[in-house]
């Protein structure tokens, strides 16, 4: 049992000894990295060796095929990975590791040839290669169907031209799971390829300066007559849009779970701070305004967790059909993301002037959490998806 995953009697059917053992492994790994949180945020990047450490512990391929170095486990084990990772106290680092484990690589296992899996997926699971996901473009972050980066067929090669923006691991990825336009305009002309970054014509723009999640390097990427073999394509030509959309479901579920864990940790730390900090002769947590606010947030966080767990359970029952759980996952991300803005704000307020300094992790949490309503689909996009699902 941990602060971030308060396992109740109801949860004992979900988490057994194997899950608890995984939690301990992740917690120990995360806490070993926590002392470097501020240092790596200031540097704007963390050491490459962290990927290898995670790979050696089997954390980068929890659901992946064991023949590729994965563990072949299910989504409930991924829940343990995501929830305990929060103890790094570094959201940028967490996001980077989750891009590697749950955003850029699962689609390679789903659609890639055996050769592609051996060449790219297996080393990514081991932490020997860093993977990026290349979908967003300048002027078209959420509008995937408006993609303009092209891949023209030339014999046994694709010739790629265009650019991508907001790419995590952009400055140092060894390969990119890349969305490109191979056909006509609209969603019907998009394909997915694996793009090795040592290809001639590929370049990285400047590292983008962000207000939060600073330790994850983010960059704009440029492609000028880059040639890759057609055999690096994932799935059918012009059939990539559906796979991008379904891949988003796993990304959004992970985001919701991580957000809930982050809120839980922030509130528990605020409570501990409020017990030690006194005002007008008594601890802050003894004031009714704070007691009520904190328990309101704990109640809402528990509701967010249950919504995320409900989505996880439904997804876990049929992981081959992510579209079948679009409603639940979208609701989970929307609810957790919007709730987190209020929870972290109030936690920061409790620290008073200290909350506005970098002395306490709450200040980083405040800037980091803003991304959850933007990345992986904005809250506005989540609402649009739900209006379609509900037939409105």
Question: Is residue 127 within 8 Å of residue 51, measured between CB atoms?
Answer: yes
The per-residue pLDDT of the chain, averaged, comes to 94
Instruction: Tell me the CA distances in angstroms from 194 to 156, 240, 282, 367, 369, one per residue in order.
Output: 15, 12, 59, 32, 30
Residue position matching structure tokens 């991580």: 258
Question: Is residue 211 within 8 Å of residue 179, measured between CB atoms?
Answer: no
Distance, in Å, from the CA atom of 255 to the CA atom of 77, rounded to the nearest integer, reads 15
Annotated catalytic residue: which of 109, 119, 251, 328? 251
Q: Is 359 a catalytic residue?
A: no
pLDDT score at 241: 94
pLDDT score at 347: 97
Find all residues with CB under 8 Å of 302, minimum gap 6, and list them.
none
Secondary-structure class of domain 9-126 per CATH: mainly alpha
pLDDT score at 107: 97
CATH number of 131-238: 2.40.110.10
Parallel, antiparallel, or unpaired for β 131-134 and 175-181? parallel
pTM, two decimals, is: 0.94
pLDDT score at 74: 96
Q: Nearest to residue 246, comparing CAs of 122, 110, 351? A: 110
pLDDT score at 378: 94
Residues 175-212 have pLDDT tens digits of 999 999 999 998 899 999 999 999 999 999 989 999 99
- Percentage, residues of the chain above pLDDT 90: 92
Q: Which residues of the chain have pLDDT under 70?
A: 1-12, 140-141
CATH classification for the domain delimited by 241-389, as one of 3.40.50.300, 3.30.2290.10, 1.20.140.10, 1.10.1740.10:
1.20.140.10
Cα of first residue to Cα of last residue in the chain, in angstroms, is 42
Q: Nearest to residue 40, comparing CAs of 373, 361, 376? A: 361
Distance, in Å, from the CA atom of 24 to the CA atom of 167, rounded to the nearest integer, reads 31
Domains in the chain: boundaries? 9-126, 131-238, 241-389
Based on its alpha-carbon atoms, the radius of gyration of the chain, rounded to whole angstroms, reads 21
Question: Is residue 214 within 8 Å of residue 170, measured between CB atoms?
Answer: no
pLDDT score at 14: 83
Other CB atoms closer than 10 Å to residue 80's CB: what's the count?
27
Q: List strand residue ranges (DSSP E) for the chain, in order.
A: 131-134, 150-154, 157-168, 175-181, 190-196, 202-207, 218-229, 233-234, 278-279, 282-283
pLDDT score at 248: 93
Give the tokens for residue 219.
Answer: 């960059």
């Amino acid at each position: 049992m941990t602060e971030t995953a308060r396992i109740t009697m109801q949860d004992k059917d979900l988490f057994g000894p194997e899950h608890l053992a995984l939690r301990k492994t992740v917690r120990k790994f995360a806490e070993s990295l926590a002392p470097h949180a501020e240092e790596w945020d200031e540097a704007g990047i963390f050491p490459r060796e962290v990927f290898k450490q995670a790979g050696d512990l089997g954390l980068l391929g929890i659901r992946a095929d064991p023949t590729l170095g994965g563990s072949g486990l299910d989504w409930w084990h991924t829940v343990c990975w995501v929830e305990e990772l929060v103890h790094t106290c570094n959201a940028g680092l967490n996001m980077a590791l989750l891009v590697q484990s749950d955003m850029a690589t699962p689609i390679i296992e789903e659609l890639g040839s055996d050769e592609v899996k051996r060449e790219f997926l297996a080393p990514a699971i081991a932490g020997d290669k860093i993977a990026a996901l290349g979908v967003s473009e300048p002027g078209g972050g959420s509008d995937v169907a408006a993609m303009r980066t092209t891949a023209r067929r030339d014999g046994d090669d694709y010739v790629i031209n265009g650019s991508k923006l907001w790419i995590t691991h952009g400055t140092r990825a060894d390969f990119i799971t890349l969305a490109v336009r191979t056909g006509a305009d609209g969603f019907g002309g998009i394909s997915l390829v694996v793009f090795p970054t040592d290809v001639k014509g590929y370049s990285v723009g400047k590292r983008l300066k962000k207000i939060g999640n600073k330790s994850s390097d983010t960059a704009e990427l440029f492609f000028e007559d880059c040639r890759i073999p057609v055999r690096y394509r994932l799935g059918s030509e012009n059939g990539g849009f559906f796979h991008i959309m379904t891949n988003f479901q796993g990304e959004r579920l992970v985001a919701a779970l991580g957000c809930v864990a982050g809120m839980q940790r922030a509130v528990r730390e605020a409570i501990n701070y409020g017990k030690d900090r006194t005002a007008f002769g008594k601890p802050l947590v003894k004031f009714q305004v704070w007691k009520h606010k904190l328990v309101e947030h704990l109640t809402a966080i528990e509701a967010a967790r249950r919504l995320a767990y409900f989505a996880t359970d439904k997804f876990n029952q049929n992981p081959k059909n992510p579209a079948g759980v679009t409603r639940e996952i979208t609701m989970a991300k929307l609810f957790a993301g919007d709730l987190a803005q209020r929870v972290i704000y109030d936690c920061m307020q409790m620290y008073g002037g200290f909350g506005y300094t970098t002395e306490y992790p709450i200040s980083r949490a405040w800037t980091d959490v803003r991304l959850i309503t933007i990345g992986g689909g904005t809250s506005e996009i989540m609402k649009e998806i739900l209006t379609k699902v509900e037939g409105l």
